Structure 1
Amino acid sequence: MTSAALDGLEHDDARYSLDDLLTLMSVLRDPQYGCPWDLSQDYASLVPHTLEEAYEVADVIERAAHATADENTVLAELPAELGDLLFQGVFYAQIASEQQRFDFHDVIHVLTTKMLRRHPHVFPDGSLSSRREGVLPHEVDESTVNARWEQIKQQEQLTAYEPSVLEHSVAESGSDGTSVLDGVPRGLPALSRAAKLSKKAARSGFDWPDIGGAFAKIREELAEVEEALAEGDEAHAREEVGDLLFAVVNLAHTLKADPEQVLRGTNARFETRFHHVESAIAAQGSSLKQATFPEMLTHWHAAKQREPHR
């Protein structure tokens, strides 16, 4: 790292740029001037931090959506959290650049190319020039856009194995060993991955014709949990609980709800109610260990009554 590069961090303008961030990252990873912690990181060690930063972005948005006060106060946290998430991508790209694999500019190029390809209704000729020249986009509805998006993604996955299969339609997937479920990351949280698997299968026609089927499946899986427990087979019961959870995810899909999102909302409500239980019991000069479960339930229901009706 040259002194000139280090001097680049001294910024006279009021706002830093993306180039400043890339310079900062290269200095952090510099063998001579860098930070020991940053130098010790690799792709694998960054993954937990990347997931944490993504969830912190989601947390700010969720808290803003349920804010009892001014949501702008909560959303003021979003630039910092988005910056932390962006920094993860910059970090991965810096490591790759050191290994002479690719750099952050390659990431931007690949992303822009992919988004142009996936939005033919907005960029008819697959380039930014069409919009710059005033070419009007195609008028399509959201369902058509979603269907085309999935088709393009499927074609992208197929071409990773054999370029010629770009000519295939999505309906033919499976004939060459591929699946409509390909591309759902295995590293996703189980609830999010279940939602994506369910959604992809449904788009291929594997879905209940109405919400009644989803309810029936939940009742079926719950009965199988109870049956396994009645037989004393806890291992089987645990498997059936997994099936029950997946059936509930299908219900969420039928209701056009993101199960991860609605569960985060439930988690927030649970925390608020339980904090009320703790405070109410403490106000009585008691503790959770001393209180009975019926007493806790009384305070729990009182907390629910205090919530605004939805």
Structure 2
Amino acid sequence: MSDDLIHDPNGGMPRLVEIMRRLRDPETGCPWDLEQTFATIAPYTIEEAYEVADAIEREAWDELKGELGDLLFQSVFHAQIASERGLFTFDQVADTMSDKMVARHPHVFGDESRDKSAEQQTQDWEAIKAQERAARARGGVLDDVAMGLPALMRAVKLQKRAARVGFDWPSTDQVIDKIVEEAQELREATSPDHQHEEFGDLLFVMANLARHLDIDPEEALRAANAKFTRRFRSIEAALAQQGKRPEDSDLAEMDALWDAAKLAEKAPGKT
């Protein structure tokens, strides 16, 4: 194939697929790209997904296009490796997703009524997924909750699956009681291994509370991280006005500056 497509600024998806094929060409490709496997590329795929989420969180719309492109490239990279091994092609990846979306939206592409709530549509979606798992002979409730998910996200998914068959606390009060119980067990842990186990149990129940409150725990923690970063930077700025750095201060002073930053954020008219 000529380089016309490679250098066509409007080449779209065919251009990207061809660039990836050329990067993996055994004779003329890039040595780094040629060394990569599914396993070595997977961490980059996860990283790119988080960078997409980060751009959305910051409403950095100018960056979002590039981040989505980076994530798309990861799919193209995996598909190229698969094609070389005779497993499947990028077009088959796209067709598989198209088939899945059509099958899971009979109220859009079939003859089912669209007169249903978003909650009912979600229930229908899960019912269709359960049928698909059964057809693949993976009938266990927890069978296809991906191992590679972030642990907090996977905890919520596991709990949702168990809740669908009735394995769940009926109220948030019981979940909070369990949090208190797990916190006490962590306090009483007598070895590093025991602390590790009890800390994991506490996080798992916290994820369950988030689910009961309809809170995305990953999103909530990202917001808490952002708040901590914002307030600590206020401490650094206040200390800089005194010609000081955090290491020149002490906990009491920094704690007072933290409280001041917190108060300023909550001031009337503050957005």
Q: Same fold (TM over 0.5)?
A: yes
CA distance in 2, matches of 1:6, 1:161: 46
Question: Which residue of structure 2 aligns with residue 143 of structure 1?
Answer: 119
SS in structure 2 of the partner of residue 6 of structure 1: coil
Question: Which residue of structure 2 aligns with residue 223 of structure 1?
Answer: 184
Are the aligned partners of 1:121 and 1:137 in contact in 2 as well (CA < 8 Å)? yes
TM-superposed CA distance for 1:261, in Å, is 1.0
CA distance in 2, matches of 1:93, 1:190: 26
What is the correspondence of 1:109-124 to structure 2 with a 5 Å cutoff? 109-124=95-110
What is the correspondence of 1:75-154 to structure 2 with a 5 Å cutoff? 75-124=61-110, 137-154=113-130
Question: Which residue of structure 2 aligns with residue 67 of structure 1?
Answer: none
CA distance in 1, matches of 2:24, 2:2: 13
Deviation string 1:21-46 (CA, Å, 9 cap, x unpaired) is 11111111112332221111111110
CA distance in 2, matches of 1:32, 1:110: 31
TM-superposed CA distance for 1:54, in Å, is 0.3
Task: Please state if 1:194 is matched with 2:149.
Answer: no
Question: Which residue of structure 1 aligns with residue 171 of structure 2?
Answer: 210
Question: Which residue of structure 2 aligns with residue 172 of structure 1?
Answer: none
CA distance in 2, matches of 1:286, 1:208: 51
CA distance in 1, matches of 2:115, 2:109: 12
CA distance in 2, matches of 1:161, 1:199: 21
CA distance in 2, matches of 1:137, 1:79: 35
TM-superposed CA distance for 1:91, in Å, is 0.6
Pairwise CA RMSD of aligned residues? 1.9
Report the more deviating stretch, 105-114 or 300-309. 300-309
Question: Which residue of structure 1 aligns with residue 136 of structure 2?
Answer: 160
SS in structure 2 of the partner of residue 147 of structure 1: helix
Q: Percent identity?
A: 47
Question: Which residue of structure 2 aligns with residue 63 of structure 1?
Answer: 58
What TM-score does the superposition give when structure 1 sets the normalisation length?
0.81
TM-superposed CA distance for 1:60, in Å, is 0.8
CA distance in 1, matches of 2:98, 2:213: 33
TM-superposed CA distance for 1:59, in Å, is 0.5
Question: Which residue of structure 1 aligns with residue 12 of structure 2?
Answer: 17
Are the aligned partners of 1:201 and 1:207 in contact in 2 as well (CA < 8 Å)? yes
Question: Which residue of structure 1 aligns with residue 41 of structure 2?
Answer: 46
Structure 2: gaps of 5 or more residues: none
Matched to 2:31, the amino acid is P
Matched to 1:112, the amino acid is S
Structure 1: gaps of 5 or more residues: 65-73, 126-135, 163-177
Question: Which residue of structure 2 aligns with residue 28 of structure 1?
Answer: 23
TM-superposed CA distance for 1:218, in Å, is 1.1
CA distance in 1, matches of 2:140, 2:173: 28
Aligned length: 268
Are the aligned partners of 2:5 and 2:11 in contact in 1 as well (CA < 8 Å)? no
